[in-house]
């Protein structure tokens, strides 16, 4: 079998066009241009690339984006002050603090400081709570991007066994949460695996849908995948100047029914969802 390639790049481009149209209508009605502010602390080159890509995507969707670049020596208190200023600024609709932060800054303290109504990454306990209850204000960017890919490629999720590899707050947990909700592109039976899971390969082999988000290059091998399964690869791992996912792409694509590439799969969908959340934040703030 040779799998269908799930083309996140083109789905994300379509989503960005939808957002651009909705943002234009919103601006026409209210005079407001949705505004995303990214805060980047230090000079991690990968983080700088991610932020630049997010800014470029904002431009494509007609959203305003601003970058606050702060030196690596910025203290936690100084960063908190920046976040507080952005919280209070009615001209800012979404705040994105690019992770990872330098080691001397506690990420949780900073993320908790972002006011829930501008938390376009959907990390705030209030937003996570709303998501768990099935009435999200914002969508978790990467998991919602994966869900949209399942929808676009008409992958049946109702009653399907979805195995999520990884239990992070940013990907694994919210991914599982989206798929167990009642409703469209959900209603799945979900298993979450992590580093303490026993017989992980045997569990993955039972999956109709595999979502790999552990940060280990080519971890998911062909013998771990049930023939005909759908495989979404969230992982982004650097091997020299090459990016590879958590899935051993070539052999797995001989077994799977459909698979995302890295790059060009889940990554662009994460950014598109961030844009959607920024527009939602502006719409909510306009009442
Ligand atoms: P984290 O490091 O926060 O979490 C990794 C998870 O994988 C943990 O739950 C960990 O288990 C689990 N894990 C690690 N090793 C193993 C193993 N050998 N067997 C089973 N489980 C294991 O990572 P993130 O969730 O932030 O990111 C995961 C990957 O996705 C990374 O490559 C990251 O770069 C990428 N990513 C991609 C995005 C995109 O837009 N495409 C967005 C966000 C992340 P435990 O909890 O027990 O430690």
Tens of pLDDT, residue by residue over 60-89, are 999 999 999 999 999 999 999 999 999 999
Whether ligand 1 lies within 6 angstroms of the CB of 196 is answered as yes
* In a domain? residue 89: yes
Q: If you measure from the C-alpha of residue 221 to the centroid of ligand 1, how many angstroms do you get, rounded to a whole number?
A: 16
**Count of the separate structural domains present in the chain:** 2
* pTM of this structure: 0.98
* Co-location of 165 and 108 in the same domain: no
Give the CATH number for residue 80.
Answer: 3.40.50.10860
Which atom of ligand 1 is closest in space to residue 172's alpha carbon?
A: 25
* In a domain? residue 12: no
What residues are labeled active site?
54, 98, 121
* In a domain? residue 80: yes
Report the share of the chain in percent with pLDDT over 90: 99
Pocket test for ligand 1, best of 9, 47, 166, 199 (most atoms within 8 A of CB): 166
Q: If you measure from the C-alpha of residue 168 to the centroid of ligand 1, how many angstroms do you get, rounded to a whole number?
A: 6
pLDDT value at 256 more than 90: yes
Residue of the CA atom closest to atom 48 of ligand 1? 195
* Co-location of 93 and 194 in the same domain: no
* In a domain? residue 241: yes
Q: If you measure from the C-alpha of residue 106 to the centroid of ligand 1, how many angstroms do you get, rounded to a whole number?
A: 19
* Co-location of 148 and 108 in the same domain: no
CA angle 61, 66, 70 (to 5 degrees): 145
Containing domain of residue 99, as a range? 31-115
Which residue, 115, 132, 153, sits at the end of a domain? 115
* In a domain? residue 179: yes
* Co-location of 151 and 253 in the same domain: yes
Q: If you measure from the C-alpha of residue 214 to the centroid of ligand 1, how many angstroms do you get, rounded to a whole number?
A: 3
* In a domain? residue 199: yes
pLDDT value at 1 more than 80: no
* Co-location of 174 and 263 in the same domain: yes
Tens of pLDDT, residue by residue over 34-59, are 999 999 999 999 999 999 999 999 99
* In a domain? residue 45: yes
Tens of pLDDT, residue by residue over 209-245, are 999 999 999 999 999 999 999 999 999 999 998 999 9
* In a domain? residue 153: yes
């Amino acid at each position: 079998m040779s799998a269908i390639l799930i083309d996140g790049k083109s789905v994300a481009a379509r989503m960005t066009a939808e957002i651009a149209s909705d943002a234009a209508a919103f601006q026409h009605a209210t005079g407001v241009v949705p505004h995303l502010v990214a805060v980047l602390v230090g000079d991690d080159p990968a983080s700088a690339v991610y932020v630049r890509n997010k800014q470029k995507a904002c431009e494509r969707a007609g959203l305003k984006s601003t970058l606050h670049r702060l030196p690596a020596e910025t203290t936690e208190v100084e960063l908190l002050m920046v976040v507080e200023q952005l919280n209070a600024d009615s001209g800012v609709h979404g705040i994105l603090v690019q992770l990872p932060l330098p080691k001397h800054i506690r990420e949780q303290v900073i993320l908790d400081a972002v006011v829930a109504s501008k938390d376009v990454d959907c990390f705030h306990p209030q937003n996570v709570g709303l998501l768990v209850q099935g009435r999200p204000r914002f969508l978790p960017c990467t998991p919602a991007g994966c869900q949209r890919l399942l929808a676009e490629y008409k992958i049946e999720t109702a009653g399907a066994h979805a195995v999520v590899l990884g239990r992070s707050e940013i990907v694994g947990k919210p991914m599982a949460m989206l798929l167990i909700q009642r409703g469209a592109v959900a209603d799945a039976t979900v298993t979450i695996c992590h580093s303490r899971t026993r017989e992980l390969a045997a569990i993955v082999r039972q999956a109709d849908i595999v979502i790999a988000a552990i940060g280990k290059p080519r971890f998911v091998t062909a013998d771990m995948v049930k023939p005909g399964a759908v495989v979404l690869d969230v992982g982004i791992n650097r091997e020299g100047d090459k990016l590879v996912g958590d899935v051993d792409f070539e052999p797995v694509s001989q077994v799977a029914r459909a698979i995302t590439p890295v790059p060009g799969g889940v990554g662009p969908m994460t950014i598109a969802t961030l844009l959607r959340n920024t527009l939602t934040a502006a719409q909510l703030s306009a009442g």
